[in-house]
A and B are shown apart, each in its own frame.
Chain A
Amino acid sequence: MSGQFGMYPFIISSLWVTVIALLLAGPVCLLSAIHLTQYARPIVLRIMHPVIDILAGIPSVIFGVWGVLAIVPFVGDHIGPLFGKSITGYSILSGGLVLAVMIIPFILNILIEVFRTIPEELTEVTLSLGATHWMVIKHVLLRKAFPGIISAFSLGLSRAFGETIAVLMVVGNVTRIPTGALQPGYPLPALIANNYGEMLSIPRYDSALMLAALVLLVIVILFNIISRWLIFRVERNT
């Protein structure tokens, strides 16, 4: 390590991983939340409630193990060759995939809550105009839920941004600005976690890492405040 501690590559890596995770988890959560609140029979809800709870409770390191055992080989053996690349699988994409599964229960729970707070009468009156159930969802419920959806996604984003161990285990940890999802990356939390040992021996290293932690904290808190404020406003208006 030289005396330079540029944080740019790490922030870029974090963004890559987080955005991929949200792109994967967001649509799945939205579709599933609509399914569970609008169409699913009670039995499906009875199955899915514990599923969501357990998924939310699984420790990050277990997701990491799963990532190493299942996702990394999958990306290395199948996704890489698909693009004509020979890679190990330890990549931004693997990090994004694992992270996506981790934030699914988190986002889904908020979305279910968002759809539940919309009064049923709104559905009833729209149906009475001759709309099909799907039209009610498309034209009315999604519109009504829109601020809630945005905040659910941004809370998921901030959760993903701070996730450490699971991502660290599958993302490769190479200090380089990534330009593609199949390359390894080195997100901010992983940087902090991997280097705590050196903090005591290298001068000024600890303050650099603490700065990294601070950056992480500020970004996450900012996201949280904005999205929770949005949710708060939506709840007050209904």
Chain B
Amino acid sequence: MGDVGLLKVENQNQGYIFSINGPVIKAAGNVSFKMREVVLVGKEKLIGEVIELKNNYATIQVHEVTTGLYPGEPVVSTGKPLSLKLAPGIIGNIFDGIQRPLGTASEKFGFFIERGININPLSENKRWNVQITVKPGDIVTSGMVFAKVQETSLIMHKVMIPYGIEGKVTDIVSDGHYTILDKLIGVTSKNGTHDLTMVQEWTVRQPRPYNKRLLIDRPLITGQRVIDAFFPMAKGGTAAIPGSFGTGKTMTQHQLAKWSDADIIFYIGCGERGNEMTEVLEEFPKLIDPRSGKSLMERTVLIANTSDMPVAAREASIYTGVTMAEYYRDMGYDVAIMVDSTSRWAEALREISGRLEEMPAEEGFPAYLSSRLSEFYGRAGRTINLNNTTGSISIIGAVSPQSGDFSEPVTQNTKRFIRCFWGLDRNLAYSRHYPAIDWLTSYSEYINPLSNWYKENVNPSFIDYRNELLKILQEESGYKEIVKLVGGDILPDNQKLILEIGRLIRLSFLQQDAFHSIDTFVPLKKQFLMMELILFIYDKCLELLKNELPISFIKETGVFEDIVKVKYTIGNDEPEKFDDLKKTTGGKLDQLLINYNK
């Protein structure tokens, strides 16, 4: 083993390992690398990325385990930054943080992830049914669609002219089956001729270009009541879900990945549990999308860099995900990205920064944490693309605050760049109130830009009802403080009613059962009717109280319990049953008043 020695190679773009410190190595020798260039480290050709060039040393973060590397082993330049292969075959697949396909890796190398595995990200043998949409002589520009491929039953993959190419189509192949490496069309431009295949490459750290940003004007409908009705998310928006462990971040992210009405979902498991990714892999193919009737996996892409996988690749994984998402946005799709969790990404940043001995800012995190977060969330948005289609990227990031304390650096910095905040509360989770989104600390800045959409597409009163319910909950929390101190009996009846209605809203509307076939996804129409029903009962009770009927009488009728059960008893497409229920409960209460007055 000792015979490797110092392998100093005098090649142009080849250095050698000088020192090793966890995932960070230093290379010396002829290191005329570029910043952010990919280099191959050691004899096993581990993938690394240049992150610092100083005093004739290149500092490299290695995306694989560095155990067994020797000083003196070669470090070879590739001349390219970390980039992705973009072509059909992405949807339904699972990749690691630097786009290595984990399914193929498992077939080839077994159940452990080995080092130095070099596999093509996308299958180069699979033949896709291609339909060419241009003719010879057509003038094409960057981003224009020149071929179509049915990638999955849900997604039509539009093959686009790579960025930077503009010119005239010289020749095309006939429609038929081709691999991603086959030439489809030829284009001549100012710079010469180009043979275009289905593949294009793009660097992960650079956003893909678009024509124009658009303002937010439509919601990302999730079927989760507390989100859609109270704190809505927009297509092209940004949201954060912070919560300490056990509050249901992952559960909420899974629900959003399942039921959001985006065209394509990217689920990035960034430094989280392996079993959670396995769960998605086992569960999603069996789940049926309520809108299309197809399996959810037909529109889902997984990026899995679980916590035990190398930390540098974890840092890269969120960029890998968002870059692929931008590629599909460019085709005119609404894409949603779930990152679980951005804190693990930030910790990867901290770990690498610590190995570089950079001056830390708060809690050991590097000073550039906030600018990196803003760059990432800045890649969300609705855009008009280069080919004049409209697409969007929505980013929902889970945050795992240390000790559940929302004042820690990652949560605080994230809050500056997101506009929708779903704070998970430990006490709600302890009492098994799920989703444990705290209605008192959460907010959505999209409520104003979206209110017109709700008024036009659901009901003109939607936003008013929502505000009314939130107001009741606010009051409830105030009265609950009093109850904690002196007990509930001394409150006047109208305040007791607020407590009852508050409880009703919490149990019937805010709590949602992810495992119940009806309740797991609730359309906006039913959400509206539920709010209407609660307010109907509230008004009715107020009326009874005016007639000096004690509130305990109302409770005994059991009307509140009937309403709590509405989520299970009334299906998602049975609006008429709400009218029936209003009649029967209204009748019960009217009868109560008549009997009381007698």
A and B form one complex: no
Interface residues of A (CB under 8 A from B): none
